Amino acid sequence: MTGLVVVSHSRALADAAVALAVEMVQGKDLTLAVAAGLDADTFGTDAVAIAEAIATADRGDGVVVLMDLGSAVLSADLALDLLEDPDQRDRVVLCPAPLVEGLVAAAVAAANGADRTEVAAEAVAGLAGKESQLGTSTLMEHEVPEPGIPDATATFTVTNPHGLHARPAARLVTEARESGAAVQIRNRTTNSAWVPASSLSRVATLGAHQNHELDVRASGPQARPAIDRILALAARAFDEDTAPAPAPPSPGPGTQPASPGIGTGPAWLPRQSTPDLPDVPSLGADRERQRLDQALNAVRAEIHHLRSTTPTAEAGIFDAHLLLLDDADLLDDARGRIADDTAAPQAWSAATARVADEFAALDDSYLQARAADVRAVADQVLRALIGATATPPTGTGVLIAPDLTPAEAAALDPATVNGIVLAAGSPTAHGAILARAKGIPAVVGVGPAALDVAPGTTVALDGRTGEVVFDPGPEVLADFRKRATDQTAQRRRALSTAARPATTPSGVTIRVGANLGSTADAQAAAANGADHAGLVRTEFLFLNRPSAPDVDEQEATYRAIAQALDGRRITLRTLDVGGDKPLPYIPTPPEQNPFLGRRGIRHSLANPTLLSDQLTAMVRTARDTPVSVMFPMISTLTELTAARTALDEAIARTGIGRPAGLEVGIMIEVPAAALKASTFAAHIDFASIGTNDLTQYAMAAERGNPSVATLSDALDPGVLRLIAATCQAAGNKFTVAVCGELAADEAAVPLLIALGVRELSVSPPSIPGVKEAVRSAPASNPDVLDLPDADAVRAALLQ
């Protein structure tokens, strides 16, 4: 098989182009390697990386290399000189085809067994259709000229309940594009004009309702097979499930509780307002077309990511969005305007407005609603074009969205947002953590059906159990509202006793602390009755700034947190950066998997000056308030010994001796550390289990990745066994705390106590409820460690 190599200045651009090409080969084998960017974020090309990619892609039949522009060509040429095998150099073709169109054509050819010469020829020919259309004087005409006598014709009846809307239209367009014939279609019932069947926007604007008759014609050697395949597709209702859907959609199997509380209210789906068009002249047709292509590729990559996290049966809507971004009718319109000296943002806006207006003018309400889809995708590309950031979601009631970024979650107002329902997402994603911090009930992983809920539909959710009901009946809604009233009363009672110690009925006192990321968090923790600060995420001092804070600034901040807590103990975690939290002023080499790379204590030990300054500030603070120093991401005793040596050196530098209240501990986030916790016993006063990362590593499921969100559940028996192993190793040698999100799960609190956990650290609003859960913890808990999965554990705990 001929191999393909993609060379680009941009990693994101290359990944997006590859994703598009892979979509076109429908699961067939394809050998493809990428050499793009100097790293994930830095533009550039590297001849050595290209040579390595060629070697990877060459399976003996040769390699076709596709490049974007400029130095990519020079780097690719140099890469040939770096190949040691002259026979391998002879098998490489540097192809002058445009990257995106060429790669799509080349992928299809290679996947179907073409040799390298044919693959390169197909790639170059990928531009022919565009050149032909841009060179005509009828570029902006909407009707298709008569092609002469077609080679095949047929008529079929639309059986889909909503007619030929976006999803079935997308299937028709895909079939027509892959047929190898020139296919056109018209609505016989309405006597519409003929339109190209390869254009999603032109097909959808036929206004084809259920039971309308459509004529289809094709020209070329493949005309008859093309018509037959389209007729077969129509007979299958374009692979759409035509069974009537229930009025209220049901939550999917991946539904998970994410933030406790009851939420009821009207559904609102945030839609970004259209960004203002900049009043600037064109920079020239070539430059403006390049800007548009870059924006389209960026948005295409975003949609591909969302599609990859959606079950196959529900992914058709995203296929329609992708086809819209590649629609010849729409793109030719926009590029034609660019050729007439219009800037790319204005050209794109005008072209998409024309398509959206055509949808809106149709007499079918379902098709009229598709105008909103066009405008949403159009706005997404427009923002990418002008570099505009999306505005925070605002609304009243229950927010329904595909997912929620931390920035979007941070902007939500608990006074107006009664609840959150996410189609994707994970309970341990940062957006969900922020929702809990704000006290907004949330359920995640409900599935894409949630996005079909009409705005204004009543929604009821329970963020503790994961229940979601769309359009509930009066009795169901009354039950949710009663639960909300009961929980409000319960929270008031809990808040009234929050300052008191939390002791179980059997006499075990559990310290309940707060997870903090600012002085304001510390004030909220004090108001909610925190016994101490169980986790101060010190990285908030180091992120989003051009240089690190000095010792004095760090000490002043730590003292302010201690003061807000009236001198209670504060647990200061040393920097937990790396992975998904890089520091811009500490360059780090690119890593293929940063979450398994230099992060936490590994990053600090590799940057001793940074660690030294931080420990010095902590020791100074400990002169006047109880301080616990906590080292994150400990995996080995060697790491802990090195960290303690650095702490001893900081103590010596202050010249005041070891502060009386200074304690030392570690975070248990790595499964190996949990299983050998006894190894650390002689060197620590406490261990705090970070269940978010412990779950991520134990389940091999990145907690921010919605496609594996159902695996990232801290109640999995395997994770619980790691917690039990840590507690067993601790005995009376050191205290075990939990500072991950599992600590805030009131249903799980009795289980954690039974396992041996003696401290819990949660977000400030969760403190009163967790203390009440401690006070009401039963003397015995169900034996859940042998249950099969997290769902079974949760069901047992909720009984």
Of 210, 180, 176, 178, the closest CA to residue 196 belongs to 176
Tokens coding 110: 């290679």
Whole-number Å distance between alpha carbons of 40 and 42: 6
The reply to whether 95 belongs to the active site is no
**Residue 236: partners with Cβ closer than 8 Å, 6 or more residues away:** none
Whole-number Å distance between alpha carbons of 132 and 130: 5
Whole-number Å distance between alpha carbons of 456 and 460: 12
Catalytic residue among 304, 321, 532, 739: 739
Backbone dihedral angles phi then psi of residue 358, each to the nearest 5 degrees: -65, -40
Answer yes or no: are the C-beta atoms of 346 and 277 closer than 8 Å: yes
Strands (E), 207-327: 213-219, 256-259, 262-268
**Residue 766: partners with Cβ closer than 8 Å, 6 or more residues away:** 260, 436, 744
Whole-number Å distance between alpha carbons of 278 and 74: 36
The residue whose two tokens read 């056109």 is: 184
**Residue 170: partners with Cβ closer than 8 Å, 6 or more residues away:** 200, 316, 319, 320, 323
Catalytic residue among 212, 321, 430, 532: 430
Of 537, 535, 526, the closest CA to residue 567 belongs to 526
Answer yes or no: are the C-beta atoms of 328 and 196 closer than 8 Å: yes
Whole-number Å distance between alpha carbons of 33 and 498: 58
Q: Hey, is 231 helix, strand or coil?
A: helix
Q: H helices then E strands: how many in the chain? A: 29, 24
| DSSP state, residue 578 | B
The reply to whether 430 belongs to the active site is yes
Rounded to 5°, the CA angle 428-430-432 comes to 65
Whole-number Å distance between alpha carbons of 159 and 279: 47
The residue whose two tokens read 């109880």 is: 626
Answer yes or no: are the C-beta atoms of 420 and 450 closer than 8 Å: no
Tokens coding 683: 């060197």
Whole-number Å distance between alpha carbons of 510 and 522: 20
The catalytic site residues sit at: 430, 739
